[in-house]
A and B are shown apart, each in its own frame.
Chain A
């Protein structure tokens, strides 16, 4: 059933991208299966059930963790800090699990659970710890360093997230079905890169022409 939905999406929606009058890149990301589950041990056996609900065991919607990035090679893009970047802590998970931002962006961490969460990073050059924060509290942290910034919760060991700080304004998140669309791209040569926190990065160089749509599919591997 899922395959049929994906196929219909590709048949019906993707051609629409290609006929529009803008420069764009679209395509499909194929992920390996099965996708990784939330790590559950040792937190499960030693947890306080009041403040650490059990892991649901649901498989991740891994395609939503895929970020497609386009790095211009033929011109220097203007990279500005983003507005309203938020990372939620909800049902003992970070939402989204991967947050792409540009340098200088202030990311607000918001606790949506009825118990404490903490957010800390031990990434060299970008170490921080916001401490325990109660429900509804928003704490902002400006991300200066480009690259991967791994986040954890000190109270719930299974919680992990990544802030992906990139030196390009051209990026998008894959849909649940693995379809992506990068639009409003100035014509030129790009290095197209696909990122997933648990999988190997893949990259390809492409030429984007004015008012043309380009289809590029990727197959991610572990």
Chain B
């Protein structure tokens, strides 16, 4: 009900926007032709198995709002309809709603804003990203659930949007809710961003309580004009109450620590960019028998770790202005999990399926607001031979309005 009123309020604001000279509206739409391999699952390759055969869809529709409020204040908003997850139209979402104050080198933002961690959240818009799929660290759902903790069955059963399928290392949506402090320490040299948020970066939930708290720090620097580097650290809790865990409390003690570095090397028509993320998960664990219980009656706590990295190489073709070619190499690795003696959990090495993904993309800007993108990806799991059953092929027409 509350969300409905927020939607009505925001729709009203958008509807009245043309009446005010201070409000600037823009938008974007993505039309997609997509297909995937026989073993396609949204949680592994972002194509729902039901829609693995070639199909056309309106992938995303966005309405952006910007208002210069004066006195260094501004408001930005994004209203989003998409088919993320199930392949069917999701309810309307407010993915971005932030009030910012910016004076010279210092800025403050409150509300829901772009996650300062890493590189991908800033390049998440279809009009700016070279590829169509998100990187593995943002789009591959792992065996950690926000209701069960470490859960080996996550992702192998159920379907995104209907059942518990786990979390990604960093929230795929690229936004967080809370407060953000920005400071450009040295113009064109170094900046810092500190965000206090209502959950760890992996959380998909837009919590409204303060049970889960998180903090993210990113230090960005530019040693040379062609080299940008970022170092990010984030820590916070992410678990939530659900029917599977109502017997327990103190979920805030289960936390994610995420460390990352991102890099952009660019010159002329070339760009190399990438990220490395390392996650430490302090989580309970559960299997078909339920949670592993500690002597104090609460779930036993375990530490799991994994890392993921991707490297993008992009070249714009000077003899064909408006076009580009890009390749991406990705790796995600899970460490060994050894349960204590007497536990019903099975020792797994690794604790999820480590994999490599290769992607290739082509893009051509038909006009300034119209971008056509083609992308193909294939992934190979460490413990399997190449089966060619979870490839993806996507063709997206992005229109900026």
A interface, CB within 8 angstroms of B: 34, 37, 39-42, 44-51, 53-54, 57, 114-116, 120-122, 127-129, 131-135, 150, 152, 154
Contacts and interface: CB of A to CB of B under 8 A. Distances in A.
Given A47-B122, A48-B228, A129 B114 contact: no
Contacts, number: 107
A134 B225 contact: yes
A46 B114 contact: yes
A150 B322 CA distance: 13
Interface in B177-232: 182, 184, 187-191, 220-222, 225-226, 228
Interface stretch (B248-256, B265-273, B342-350): B265-273
A133 B268 contact: yes
30 contacts: A37-B68, A39-B24, A42-B64, A42-B66, A45-B78, A45-B96, A46-B114, A46-B121, A46-B125, A46-B128, A47-B122, A48-B228, A49-B191, A50-B188, A50-B190, A50-B221, A51-B188, A51-B222, A51-B228, A114-B188, A115-B188, A116-B226, A120-B322, A129-B318, A131-B269, A132-B269, A134-B226, A150-B368, A152-B368, A154-B316
A219 B123 CA distance: 43
A5 to B, nearest CB: 25
A149 to B, nearest CB: 12
A132 to B, nearest CB: 6
Nearest to A124: B367
Contacts of A42: 26, 64, 66, 76, 78, 125
A46 B68 contact: no
Contacts of A152: 368
A44 B66 contact: yes
Nearest to A135: B225
Given A37-B68, A44-B76, A122-B368, A129 B124 contact: no
B65 interface: yes
B26 A132 contact: no
Contacts of A46: 114, 121-125, 128
Contact of A49 (B21, B184, B365): B184
A39 B368 CA distance: 14
A37 B67 CA distance: 12
A116 B184 contact: no
A93 B128 CA distance: 20
B321 A41 contact: no
Contacts of A128: 321
A164 to B, nearest CB: 17
Given A115-B222, A116-B266, A129-B322, 17 more contacts: A34-B21, A41-B24, A41-B26, A42-B26, A44-B100, A45-B66, A45-B96, A48-B122, A49-B182, A49-B191, A50-B187, A50-B220, A57-B68, A116-B226, A122-B366, A122-B368, A129-B316
A114 B114 CA distance: 25
By DSSP majority rule, is chain A's interface helix, strand, loop, or mixed? loop
Contacts of B24: 37, 39-41
Interface in B324-383: 365-368
Interface of B: 21, 24, 26, 64-66, 68, 74, 76, 78, 96, 98, 100, 102, 107, 113-114, 121-125, 128, 182, 184, 187-191, 220-222, 225-226, 228, 266-269, 271, 316, 318, 321-322, 365-368
A131 B66 CA distance: 29
Contacts of B269: 129, 131-132
A116 B321 contact: no
B107 A122 contact: no
Nearest to B25: A41
B122 to A, nearest CB: 5
B275 to A, nearest CB: 14
A134 B188 CA distance: 13
B187 A114 contact: yes
Contacts of A40: 24, 66, 68, 74
A131 B316 contact: yes
Of the listed residues A44, A129, A152, the one surrounded by the most CB atoms of chain B closer than 10 A to its CB is A129
Given A40-B68, A42-B64, A45-B98, A50 B191 contact: yes
A154 B314 CA distance: 14
A51 B268 CA distance: 16
Closest 9 CB pairs of A and B: A41-B66, A131-B268, A127-B321, A129-B321, A131-B269, A114-B188, A45-B76, A134-B225, A46-B122
B220 A48 contact: yes
Nearest to B122: A46
Given A45-B76, A45-B113, A116-B266, A54 B102 contact: yes
A122 B68 contact: no
Contacts of A37: 24, 68
B13 to A, nearest CB: 15
Contact of B321 (A45, A51, A115, A120): A120
A133 B68 CA distance: 31
A125 to B, nearest CB: 12
Contacts of A134: 225-226
A129 B268 CA distance: 10
B191 A41 contact: no
A122 B21 contact: no
A176 B122 CA distance: 38
B188 A44 contact: no
Contacts of B321: 120-122, 127-129
Contacts of B365: 122
B224 to A, nearest CB: 9
A154 B110 CA distance: 29
A40 to B, nearest CB: 5
